[in-house]
Structure 1
Amino acid sequence: MTRNVKISLAAVGAFAIVVAALLFATRPSGPESAPATQQVAAGDAKLNNAPNASVTMIEYMDFECPACAQLHPVVDQLVQQYGDRVQFVVRYFPLPMHPNGEPAALAAEAANQQGRFPDMSAKLFETQQAWAGQQGAEQTFRGYAEELGLDMAAYDAAVAAPATAEKVKADTRAGAEAGVSGTPTFFVNGEQLNPQSVQDITDALDRALGQ
């Protein structure tokens, strides 16, 4: 790991301890093994654009999951630090216990279709406490789309489109088939991680990069 990665992650050290405690708060015991590879599709939501990256990290997330929100700043930090060496991919995995998890995923996917997934993802996590468990969240998410300057006709059409809902379901099925049982769950080059801390994630990325 480069020195600047270590320094920047050290700046969130106390936060990482909290994350470590929350990381499996919504995940029951499940398989630790996974298929050797997971194919990344062109339409998958991505946090960065790294077409030549030698390493891919896939995160299965639920926007209403507290642990996912807690980890969001750390993942954002990793995206910045690893740059074009790692492609960061997101798959939707709304949990049944979270009533607004699926509507949030639809909103994020609608933004993804306009190339604005990172912005909508950040907005959803930063405001999670305002809408989690609340009625009328769909209108709240639409308001976020307006704030981001999205094409609202296209956004509304995408949220209502069966294909968007199917994308969310397809991600969830892919996760379940790979052994995902809760969020967040990470895969690095197809290998499921079982991290107890942020350091475990960076160590896995560094190993995959051959550092």
Structure 2
Amino acid sequence: MYFQKHFLSPLLIMVAAAILLSACQNNAPATATSTSVATSTPTEAVQAPTPEATAHVPSTPEPAATADSGKMIFPPKVTADFAVQDRPDSSVGNADAPLTMYEWCDYGYPKCATYNNEILPEITKKYVDTGKLKIVHKEFPAAGGDPSVVASMAAQCAAKQGQFKAMNDWLYKDNAWSTGDVPGTIAAVKAGAKDLSLNTDDFNACLDNQEMLESVKQDYFDARDLELRELPGIVIGGHVIQTGVDAQSLDTVIDALLQEQKTGSLPETVITVTPSPTPDTDFAPETVAVMGSPDAPVTITEFTDYQCPFCQRHASQTMPGLKEYIDSGKVRYILKNFPLTQIHPKAVIAGEAAECAGEQGKYWEMHDKLFENQKQWAESSDALKVFKGFAKELGLDEKAFETCVSSDRYKDKLMADQKEGVNAGVSGTPAFFINDQFLNGAQPLDVFKQIIDKILASGQ
């Protein structure tokens, strides 16, 4: 069948999940400038690291009590050119409803299941059934891998038979489809279609159709500029909710927009905020942790944590492919530290080990050693001893290396790197800036290739 023969990589390449599912995170909110839909207090970028481990990272001060205290910060507006592919077959509500809400979800993502099972029924009863709201379901299979793509296609194929809700609810109720490989998932959703009394011939033909795969891809494209940080992603009344929802906050948003349509203004219980300034990506130059020609048309700046498993995955799986761009003069690659000390207490000393090896011209060699043997030193009671062994293998002056690491010579530099990352909106690792374009998480090589090749083709 076409679906299995050509597999799903064309879609998954595009789904460089904006939600933070492939990055290490401190137990802290996303960015210094982000705001929750349900609160009026700006969140901290990264919880301030402990003084013993790191230098201070500025956090957002607690705001003084004002007339706005207790009000809800309203979600920002989408850009003027925002447009989406309509999905009449997976829509509910009156076509003439005063409000339209687009929702992006992934059938393999638990928070989408919670939204579907607990929040959506209340929203439907209160607003859809009363003619106030139309809901358009969009696909965003970013979290569950290939099985989620199959599930999205299954939902839309059922929608063509007027059975979107039936398949939608079945997918969220019976997630046995998500535990296998692609053939197993296809077999499971076909069995589900039969159980739901769908026309199985039409359903199977739809599932095997490249046009349906392209349609699911288009749903992703529709949301790619929304910078979703959590699912479900929602656009309603020209405003985008990027950080997930709860029932109360979604109620408040809908009620406020309905009032705005009647009176021309939002209620006093909400406040709007001016979008944050453009993140500062004018990073300090690197002289050691850098590869490639200074004249390369593309510069990639990575913020990493040597103890982060997702950073290790990037180093082992993606970096070899990027090296081809570096060696050919097309990419200059810069590495900066972003130690998440609350969850990775040895990230700082590992970063120092790399910098100290750099003093002897072996920065990238130590970088590779640290990631290749991450478990060994991360679980050791004496990480420095392990690092000294790496230094010996690399032919370094071991005494000079040990003195350098023990002196914390580069701790201030690591903390300066981290502060730069915070100012640029980084909240987890790995995080990348490709000519100022932000990319979060350990994405596949093909995601990087698409961005790099587009920049090269445009001559930017």
Aligned mates of 1:29, 1:82 — CA distance in 2 = 31
- Counterpart of 2:308 in structure 1 is 65
Cα-to-partner distance string for 1:65-120 (whole Å, 9 max, x where unaligned): 00111111211321124422101110011112111111100000111222211100
Report if the CA contact (8 A) 1:188-1:208 is conserved: no
Report if the CA contact (8 A) 2:306-2:351 is conserved: yes
Report if the CA contact (8 A) 2:353-2:387 is conserved: yes
Q: Deviation of residue 34 (structure 1)?
A: 5.8
Confirm whether residue 54 of structure 1 aligns to residue 300 of structure 2. Answer: no
Amino acid at match of 2:25: T
Could you say what secondary structure the match of 1:58 adopts? strand
Aligned mates of 2:282, 2:303 — CA distance in 1 = 12
- Counterpart of 2:330 in structure 1 is 85
Which of 132, 136, 142 is the equivalent residue of 2:388?
A: 142
* Structural mapping, 1:175-190, within 5 Å: 175-190=421-436
Could you say what secondary structure the match of 2:418 adopts? helix
* Structural mapping, 1:95-134, within 5 Å: 95-96=340-341, 97-134=343-380
Q: Deviation of residue 29 (structure 1)?
A: 4.0
The share of aligned pairs that are identical, in percent, is 35
Aligned mates of 1:196, 1:99 — CA distance in 2 = 21
Cα-to-partner distance string for 1:161-201 (whole Å, 9 max, x where unaligned): 45411111111111111111110000011221246842222
In structure 2, the gaps of 5 or more residues are 1-8, 35-226, 228-276
- Counterpart of 2:447 in structure 1 is 200
Farther-moved stretch of structure 1 (27-36 vs 121-130): 27-36
Aligned mates of 1:195, 1:111 — CA distance in 2 = 26
Which of 395, 401, 410 is the equivalent residue of 1:155?
A: 401
**Shift in CA distance, 100/42, structure 1 to aligned 2, threshold 3 Å:** closer
In structure 1, the gaps of 5 or more residues are 1-12
Amino acid at match of 1:78: L
Aligned mates of 2:380, 2:299 — CA distance in 1 = 34
Report if the CA contact (8 A) 1:61-1:94 is conserved: yes
Aligned mates of 1:25, 1:173 — CA distance in 2 = 17
TM-score calculated relative to the size of structure 1? 0.80
Aligned mates of 2:387, 2:355 — CA distance in 1 = 12
**Shift in CA distance, 109/180, structure 1 to aligned 2, threshold 3 Å:** same
Count of residue pairs brought into register by the alignment: 195
- Counterpart of 2:418 in structure 1 is 172
Aligned mates of 1:69, 1:152 — CA distance in 2 = 25
Report if the CA contact (8 A) 1:57-1:88 is conserved: yes
Could you say what secondary structure the match of 1:193 adopts? strand
- Counterpart of 1:4 in structure 2 is none
Cα-to-partner distance string for 1:33-84 (whole Å, 9 max, x where unaligned): 96364335143512x2322212110110011100111111211321124422
Structure in which a larger fraction of residues adopt helix: 1
Higher RCO (C-alpha under 8 Å, 6+ residues apart):
1
Amino acid at match of 1:54: P
Aligned mates of 1:34, 1:111 — CA distance in 2 = 35
Aligned mates of 1:23, 1:130 — CA distance in 2 = 22
Which of 339, 342, 345 is the equivalent residue of 1:94?
A: 339
Aligned mates of 1:34, 1:94 — CA distance in 2 = 24
- Counterpart of 2:22 in structure 1 is 23
Report if the CA contact (8 A) 1:26-1:65 is conserved: no
Rg comparison, structure with higher value? 2
RMSD: 2.8
Aligned mates of 1:124, 1:36 — CA distance in 2 = 29
- Counterpart of 2:457 in structure 1 is 210
